[in-house]
Amino acid sequence: MKQLSVFIENREGRLFDVLRILGENDINIISLSLADTNDYGMLRMIVSKPQVALSILRDCGLSATLTQILAIKLPHESGSLGRALAAINDAGINIEYMYGLCADGDEAVLAIKTSDVAQAAKLLKRAGIEQWQM
């Protein structure tokens, strides 16, 4: 799954600007996560039209990029995340970051960025973990 990442300086109104641009161009934000440091923030989003969103944001002068991530479905059960991650952990694959994507019905969906996305996808599939589709 493609994730849209945007570099945002810690300045008043910058996050709003990004949201406004996306809204005006009819791009739906399915999920987002905002990581912050002293000087800047990193807005990571799953959007309805990632490729279109990317070019619009770039045209507006923002530093944006598309990143391959994994969106996995997990049942609402204790231990389900640990079991899922055991598969990639055993293979020595690092998790760069992760965040909750959405949680509807009986399942939660998590976004995971790993050091080796293709390999992680294969291992998760083998462990019976399903990928979430938009």
Partner 1 sequence: MSRDEMTVLQNYRLTNTVNHVYHNVEFYRHKMQKIGLLPSDIKTIDDLTKLPFTTKEDLRDTYPYGLFAVPISEIVRIHASTGTTGKQTVVGYTRRDISTWSECVARSLTMTGVGKGDTILVAYGYGLFTGGLGLHYGAEHLGACVIPIATGSTKRLTTMMVDLEATAIACTPSYLLHVAEVLEAEGLLGKLKIKAAICGAEPWSEAMRLQIEEKLGINAFDIYGLSEVLGPGVACDCIHHQGLHIYEDYFLSEVISEQSQTPVAAGETGELVFTTLAKEGIPLIRYRTKDLTDITYEPCECGRTTARIGRFKGRSDDMLIIRGVNVFPSQIEAALIEMGTTLPHYVMEIDRVGTLDVLELKVEVEERYFSDEIRKLEGLTRQIEKTIREAIGLSIKVKLVEPRTIERSTGKAKRVIDKRKLM
- Residue 26 vs 39, nearer CB to partner 1: 39
- Residue 7 vs 102, nearer CB to partner 1: 7
The Cα–Cα gap between 5 and 58 comes to 11
- Residue 63 vs 131, nearer CB to partner 1: 63
Q: Which residues are near partner 1 by CB under 8 A?
A: 3, 5, 7-9, 14, 35, 37, 39-40, 42, 44, 58, 61-65, 67, 96-97, 113
Q: Shortest gap between Cβ of 106 and partner 1 (angstroms)?
A: 30
3-state helix, strand, coil in the chain (%, to 5): 30, 40, 30
The Cα–Cα gap between 75 and 80 comes to 7
The Cα–Cα gap between 86 and 36 comes to 28
